[in-house]
Chains A and B, each alone.
Chain A
């Protein structure tokens, strides 16, 4: 079952990517600023064609938050039960969160250049997102270089990162300059012509996310197997 899980999710993600790219550029309306009483689009400055970035930028942010949440919850369970299979999932999710977070920051920066004519501004949400991403990078570095004790140390970092997610999400609508999806930052109020394709993008990147996480979990288990084989060889005095 798990053997076919990664290819199945990858295939679904690939089909979804092809379909959503086609729909984004052919079926979604050109965004204009939101005005009360009119059609609800994504508000912000000078969006128009640049708003096409939204369909990939926001689902990536959703997947990053999901990955951080999974990593945090699995880390709590790992700290409580000391069962390494939860740690494998936490590590896989954290690494995938780093990749998705990099896409969020890059696409967000390009969008900022198009909309605000600045690659980066120290706005609340951007700054918090950067801090979250740096925390995740810290998690991966600790896992790589901290040795045996790194598992528990990084589990604590994953819990810390998870706590930061709600702050980032709540900040939209709290008086910052970040473009808001729909009225008051609620994607459920997006224009119907945009909403369906947006959720199709979310589903696509969920498949993509699952393909990466399941694959990375397999790698984590293989890394554990390598460690166990080495320890076995060393304990028996068979390996130098």
Chain B
């Protein structure tokens, strides 16, 4: 029994000592530190450097592809919009047809008014002549 208690004591003492002298958590590394670590690792190991370069180039190529696809889509949309605008340009067609109708209506109105005025003038002149002829007699 004493042996067991002694063993437990020893374990506890070792635990306390272990906790007391254990190293603390590692200090947080800054991006500069990480970059420096990475550069040093790449300088030491060419295969590691090649892997890093390949991954970085792959990421850059994908970014460029995405931008080109976006630009293409914008260009196609602009072209489609322009084509639709020209293909369905109703504004000028309506304007032209309206201009024709306005001129035609104006001319017909002008003719009608002049003809009415002439008819009235003829009736008046004939009446005046008849009256004047009767008076002369």
Which residues in A have some Cβ–Cβ distance to B below 8 Å?
21, 30, 46, 48-50, 52-53, 56-57, 60, 96, 99, 102-103, 106-107, 110-111, 113-114, 208, 212, 215-216, 218-219, 222-223, 225-226, 229-230, 232-233, 236, 238-239
Contacts and interface: CB of A to CB of B under 8 A. Distances in A.
20 contacts: A49-B87, A50-B89, A53-B96, A53-B97, A102-B103, A106-B103, A111-B96, A114-B89, A208-B104, A212-B108, A212-B111, A215-B115, A219-B115, A226-B121, A229-B129, A233-B128, A236-B136, A238-B128, A239-B128, A239-B129
Q: Is the interface of B mostly helix, strand, loop or mixed?
A: helix
Nearest to B89: A49
Q: Is the interface of A mostly helix, strand, loop or mixed?
A: helix
Contacts, number: 96
A110 B97 CA distance: 10
A53 B97 CA distance: 7
B3 interface: no
A52 B112 CA distance: 30
B27 interface: no
B118 to A, nearest CB: 4
Among B100, B114, B125, residue most surrounded by chain A Cβ atoms (within 10 Å): B100
Contacts of B26: none
A141 to B, nearest CB: 15
A107 B96 contact: yes
Interface in B78-124: 86-90, 92-93, 95-97, 99-100, 103-104, 107-108, 111, 114-115, 118-119, 121-122
